[in-house]
Chain A
Amino acid sequence: MAASDVAVRARNVSHQFGEEGESLHVRALLDTSLDIRRGELFCLIGPSGCGKSTLLNVIGGLLTPTSGKVMVGNTDVRGPLPQEVAYVFQENALFPWSTVLENVSLGMMFQGVPRAEREPRARKSLEAVGLADFADHYPGQLSGGMRQRAALARALSLETDVLLMDEPFGALDEQTRMVLGEDLSVLLSRTNKSIVFVTHSLGEAVFLADRVAVFSARPGTIKDIIAIDEPHPRKPSFMTSEKFTALRNQLFGLLHEEIRKAMADSTASERGAGGKGGGAKPS
């Protein structure tokens, strides 16, 4: 695979929280490697605490792994890369004290976009996610689905090559998830972004992803990678097709055992930092 085709390259990434012997010691990731191609939507799925969010944070430069390295494009990841990587978090990371438009503009300001460009680009992104009429609303006035769309608009406005999404639809109800998933697929078909998407939902993974990496229980490592050969934008009819069901079953088979293992592990041991959001320690 030519280097220019690879958007993100992770090599032998391992990460542990705390030191051995400390009560909070957690081995989140073990020797994980993967290549994410340009323009693909790559899903990370696995049981709770398996390190998928940790890997996402490492790719995004929000966390320095205890060993291994990651490259985004041609750059080694040593810290946040605001020009190359944009993030959409699960919880609401919109600033509640600013309007939707201000939130999107602030993101660009942090990135370094000149003032004159910010508002037009912000409005363009908001229109792309269907929130053009809500630009002057505060996040508190919006529903969960709309907030995540605004967060997506903010990430899109940064015009990065890579988009990282950490269970962005996790807090939403199923119907909203489905609709937003379809919208995301449409967006993907229009741009050439590389998206890394962490999810718990099997259906979401199969519907959205070009490839899905299945994680093992903690310490997380990639058990298998499934390819989903279906062009974007994906139609709702895909979800009811036999192909979909077969892929979903395959995914389930791989995951089920790991989920059981993870549950046994969590009841046996004490709470640990875990994969989800345990994320970035003070840098």
Chain B
Amino acid sequence: MAHALHMQQAQAVPPVGPPLKRRIKRWLLARPGLARLGVVLMLFAVWEIAARFLVDKMFLSPPSQVFSQIQTVFETPGVIAALRITAWELAIAFALSVMIGLAVGLAVGLHRFSHRSFMPIVLLLYGTPQVTILPLFILYFGIGPASKIAFGVSHGIFPIIVTVAAGVQNIKPILLTSAKSMGANQWQIFRWAIFPHMIPSFFAGMRLGMTGVLLGVLLAELYVSTAGIGYFTTLFTQSFNPTKLLGLISVLAIMAIGLNEIVRRAELRYSRWRKD
């Protein structure tokens, strides 16, 4: 019995090595976020080494240089104005996408019949490679911000239409039946049953819509731009200035991440009652 107890004590801790090493390992294991950071740092290190020693300076700049010289990007005349213009293009395109998307989504989704008729058309348009008609947009809207906004809207409305329509359509019939049985009229059913039910889908659609708007506006900017950031990406590319180019791209990437994050958080907040 005493022997058995002793065996129990000794084996209470799984024997994996000296206690300190094991504690460190357990500590790391409990913090994947830290490990992730480690991976990111390692990637930056690889970038740094590759840019410094392996690749021609003309084609790639090390991150240390990119980030220390980020100021020069902003100091380049016109860049800050261009960023502001691009931000406006994104904001307007997103706002328009949401309004149009919501309106069309509701119109298509509210009635079985309109859903059956028009949804296939919407889905077909959603699936076409819009990038092929980018030159058309420029043709129609010019090379200024209007075409960027239009192209952004054209990418942003579809996910919103689809998700809003779906959110309206897939409310459980039992909820509608029970509302009707309590005497609600059409407007009340919409306002208190259908509309709130659709909100999480709407926010999900907005999240996808933001991705679409970003894609549309940026594509248009990269294609042709006289005052937007597309102008400067072309400039830095053609003058073989990877430092500034990477700097600008980083700024834009951060902006994109920020916008995506805002919409994502909004979605989480307003979807709290949904289980999925």
Q: Is A67 an interface residue (CB 8 A)?
A: yes
* 8 Å CB contact of A12 from B4, B12, B14: B4
A1-23 to B contact mask, C-beta < 8 Å, 1/0: 00000000000101000000000
CB neighbours of B14 from chain A (8 A)? 66
Q: Give the CA-CA distance A14 to B8 in the complex, in Å.
A: 8
Q: Give the CA-CA distance A66 to B8 in the complex, in Å.
A: 8
B1-13 to A contact mask, C-beta < 8 Å, 1/0: 0001001100110
B147 to chain A, nearest CB (A): 50
| Contact-residue bracket for chain A | under 10
| Contact-residue bracket for chain B | under 10
Cβ-closest 8 pairs across A and B = A67-B11, A67-B8, A12-B4, A67-B7, A14-B8, A66-B11, A66-B12, A67-B12
In the complex, 7 of the A-B residue pairs with CB atoms within 8 angstroms, ordered by the A residue number, are A12-B4, A31-B4, A31-B8, A66-B14, A67-B7, A68-B7, A68-B8
CB neighbours of A12 from chain B (8 A)? 4, 7-8
B247 to chain A, nearest CB (A): 43
A23-34 to B contact mask, C-beta < 8 Å, 1/0: 000000001000
Which residues 31-51 of A have a CB within 8 angstroms of B?
31
Q: Give the CA-CA distance A66 to B13 in the complex, in Å.
A: 8
CB neighbours of B11 from chain A (8 A)? 66-67
A269 to chain B, nearest CB (A): 21
Q: Give the CA-CA distance A204 to B6 in the complex, in Å.
A: 39
Q: Which of A31, A66, A67, A68 has the most CB of B within 10 A?
A: A67
Question: Which residues in A have some Cβ–Cβ distance to B below 8 Å?
Answer: 12, 14, 31, 66-68
Q: Give the CA-CA distance A14 to B4 in the complex, in Å.
A: 11
A-B contact count, CB below 8 Å? 15
Q: Give the CA-CA distance A67 to B3 in the complex, in Å.
A: 13
CB neighbours of A68 from chain B (8 A)? 7-8
CB neighbours of A31 from chain B (8 A)? 4, 8
Given contacts A66-B12, A67-B8, A68-B7, 7 further A-B contacts (CB under 8 A): A12-B8, A14-B8, A31-B8, A66-B14, A67-B11, A67-B12, A68-B8
B183-195 to A contact mask, C-beta < 8 Å, 1/0: 0000000000000
Which residues 1-56 of B have a CB within 8 angstroms of A?
4, 7-8, 11-12, 14
Q: Give the CA-CA distance A12 to B14 in the complex, in Å.
A: 17
CB neighbours of B12 from chain A (8 A)? 66-67
CB neighbours of B7 from chain A (8 A)? 12, 67-68
CB neighbours of A14 from chain B (8 A)? 8
B124-162 to A contact mask, C-beta < 8 Å, 1/0: 000000000000000000000000000000000000000
A71 to chain B, nearest CB (A): 15
A68 to chain B, nearest CB (A): 8
Q: Give the CA-CA distance A14 to B127 in the complex, in Å.
A: 59
Q: Give the CA-CA distance A31 to B7 in the complex, in Å.
A: 11
Q: Give the CA-CA distance A148 to B8 in the complex, in Å.
A: 38
Q: Give the CA-CA distance A67 to B14 in the complex, in Å.
A: 9
CB neighbours of B8 from chain A (8 A)? 12, 14, 31, 67-68
Q: Give the CA-CA distance A68 to B12 in the complex, in Å.
A: 10
B92-112 to A contact mask, C-beta < 8 Å, 1/0: 000000000000000000000
Q: Give the CA-CA distance A122 to B209 in the complex, in Å.
A: 54
Chain B minimum-CB-distance residue to A69: B7
Chain B minimum-CB-distance residue to A33: B4
Chain A minimum-CB-distance residue to B14: A66
A112 to chain B, nearest CB (A): 30
CB neighbours of B4 from chain A (8 A)? 12, 31
Q: Give the CA-CA distance A14 to B14 in the complex, in Å.
A: 13
B15 to chain A, nearest CB (A): 11
CB neighbours of A66 from chain B (8 A)? 11-12, 14
B26 to chain A, nearest CB (A): 8
Q: Give the CA-CA distance A131 to B179 in the complex, in Å.
A: 50
Chain B minimum-CB-distance residue to A65: B11
B31 to chain A, nearest CB (A): 14
A20 to chain B, nearest CB (A): 9
Chain A minimum-CB-distance residue to B4: A12
B83 to chain A, nearest CB (A): 46
Q: Give the CA-CA distance A67 to B4 in the complex, in Å.
A: 9
Q: Give the CA-CA distance A14 to B7 in the complex, in Å.
A: 11
B218 to chain A, nearest CB (A): 42
B6 to chain A, nearest CB (A): 10
Chain B minimum-CB-distance residue to A14: B8
A156 to chain B, nearest CB (A): 35
